[in-house]
Structure 1
Amino acid sequence: MVGIKKAVVVAGVAVGFVVGAAGASGAAGFSGMDKEKWDRVRFGMSRQEVLDIVGPTACAVDNKPATAESTVPTFTCWATGIEEFAPYAHLTFNADGKLYMKSFYRMSLPTAPTMTAAQYNKVAVGMTEEQVRKTVGTNSCVVTDLAQPAFPSTAGATSTLTCWTGKGSGFLAPQAWFSFKDGKVTGKHQRDVVK
């Protein structure tokens, strides 16, 4: 039950952010971010280096174009504009202005998800990402966020593996989130996978 509530809150925050942004600045026209660019931005890059990759019109800070001089820690970079449920990425910089965390929403989806409730239940704390993928189906998941909080050290690195069931990968389709630290599962939660 706690997992369901947490997942609903996470999904609600994502929807609220997107809907709120759409209402505030639906005509801002930010676009151009995609998964290939998300993959190319690396930890330790400056704001300018990140903008050189993602493009000058993709990212926003407080509904204004992000610049190398922006002091807000997180850029929100949009794939197709600020619209309800539109794909976007968050790129977050540390106090030294270096990228140390990145996440995305719906910029990449699994090719053929097949995870079942029974498979979800088999995932245990301490498993590696490879073990989780083998357990729930290699085509069921995508890594949706990465962080290296002690950059340049990799100690304490975190990630989230988001997985879908055979019911597809639509916004309201059953989903599970597996949290990792230093390459091992530290927790999991789900929405509508296990009822």
Structure 2
Amino acid sequence: MVFYFKARPEAGDYTIFMGLDKFENEELIKYGFPEDIWFHVDKMSSAHVYIRLHKGQTIDDISEGNKVNNIDVVYTPWSNLKKTASMDVGQVGFHNPKMVRTVRVEKRINEIVNRLNRTKVERKPDLKAEREAVNAAERAERKLQLRDKKRREEMERLEKERQSELRSYKGLMVSENMTSNKQIATTSKSLQELEEDFM
């Protein structure tokens, strides 16, 4: 079971979610998104809470709320979570400790907690399928961008060839574009008319 909450639009309209227990936390660790920011109360047993940022946002775009007084909350991007075989279910480490931030929360703000609880929805998502769907969409988008890039490059190449052809002299000295003196003599034009045609 995963619990979903909705932040109010003026706070960023983020989706906030957390697992029911350490087994769901394990799934959330495994199938997170690059836009996910992981939160945990430091040095206490607590839920793993995630905020899913919008594309293009960073960890600097979020603000914090709390449920308990005088606690430190650590948070880091999902991509910084490290899981090794020796760790217990739901336990994580960090690839880069410098990417872990801590915020001191002095006082619980009940208004925020109550508002979030009113948005709470329980679901049993297929986290693996959601992650695979996002991966497939990202691959399709990259493929489309690559195809567009190749098409643009081909159009540019053809235009360069066309411009080069226009600037070259190789089309001027082609026999079918030339007129011999014999052909000129067979026409009924005067020398002056021929000179005017030439000019």
Q: TM-score, normalised by structure 1?
A: 0.22
Highest Rg: 1 or 2?
A: 2
| More helix per residue | 2
Q: TM-score, normalised by structure 2?
A: 0.21
Whose relative contact order is higher, 1 or 2, with alpha carbons under 8 Å and at least 6 apart?
Answer: 2
